[in-house]
Structure 1
Amino acid sequence: MLWRGLTDPGLAAQGRLFFEICGQALQGRPEAVPVLDGIVTDWLEPLADAEAAQGADPATARARARLGLAVVRGPLLDLLATGDRAAVDAAMEEYVRPHHAPADPPTG
């Protein structure tokens, strides 16, 4: 699972650096601002493609892609700030569960 890779303790320094640079960019520091180019948009197409492959229409796929990206980044920041791996992993599993649940059988 991608989540396990992103939260590998050996990558914690890179995670902190990512959020530090994002913060500096959002404050308008000229040397950091370029990091904002594509920080969301570059991820949307491949994530939306994955959602579309699961049957989502294009608008829904794009909305889910943006939400999914935000959901991964939020708990990652939580983990770096709190170190509470169990709680953060549980939250991520709760988010992922409906996406991997079997589809309801057709009615009627």
Structure 2
Amino acid sequence: MAAPKPAPSARETELLELAYQYSLTHGLADLSLRPLATAIGSSPRVLLFLFDSKDGLIRALLARTRTDELELLREINSRYGDAPGLEVIARELWTWLAAKERRPLMTLWVEAYGRSLVAPEGPWADYARSTVDDWLELLATAQRKRERASRRGEARRTGVLAILRGALLDLLATGNKDRTTAAVEAYLAD
């Protein structure tokens, strides 16, 4: 059994955050260590030492992107009592997803999600699946217990997730927040 990885050093944490900010602008798919290291005031050798490999750095960056997503899910869960309803949670999620200041994060999320589907091995492994599971779990908590356990309840939360993600892709492609918000609202009203 491998020994657990020690807690990250202050420098590792600092460089990860700088690399995360860099990746919001430049993406991860074609990440090259030399330009990244130059941009964040480090060297490729230091990044390889701290993260073991380029794949290790990408895994750390993907985990960092999920940190924002998971924090949102925890925040929404703590704000509402028992089973506020899918519509309430979906509107909260859409407001967060569609915010202009989150476009770089959402673009990075789409890139990572897509890479996870076409390159399921290596650093991208299971990223898409884990984000689906995270969001479906949150949506399930919005449902009453009886609905949550039913096939219809599962189908309803899957539909809500699909509309949110489809509207997000459309928003990122077109920038048309009014139209995509109207689509989300129309779906939730049915």
Q: TM-score range by the shorter chain?
A: 0.7 to 0.9
Aligned equivalents of 2:135 and 2:175: distance in 1? 26
- Residue in 2 aligned with 1:16? 107
How high is the TM-score relative to the length of structure 2? 0.46
Residues 49 and 61 of structure 1, relative CA distance in 2, 3 Å threshold: farther
Q: Is the deviation greater in 3-12 or in 33-42?
A: 33-42
**Residues 37-80 of structure 1: CA deviation (Å, up to 9, x unaligned):** 42212322331232335x63622111111111111111001000
Q: Structure 1 segments of 4 or more deviating over 6 A?
A: none
Aligned equivalents of 2:171 and 2:133: distance in 1? 24
Q: May I ask how many residue pairs the two structures share in their alignment?
A: 97
Contact between 2:136 and 2:158, CA under 8 Å: does it hold in 1? yes
Identity %: 33
Is 1:60–2:152 an aligned residue pair? yes
Aligned equivalents of 1:43 and 1:89: distance in 2? 19
Larger Rg: 2
RMSD: 1.8
Contact between 1:52 and 1:58, CA under 8 Å: does it hold in 2? no
| 2:180 maps to amino acid | V
Task: Give the alignment partner of residue 7 of structure 1, picking from 94, 98, 101.
Answer: 98
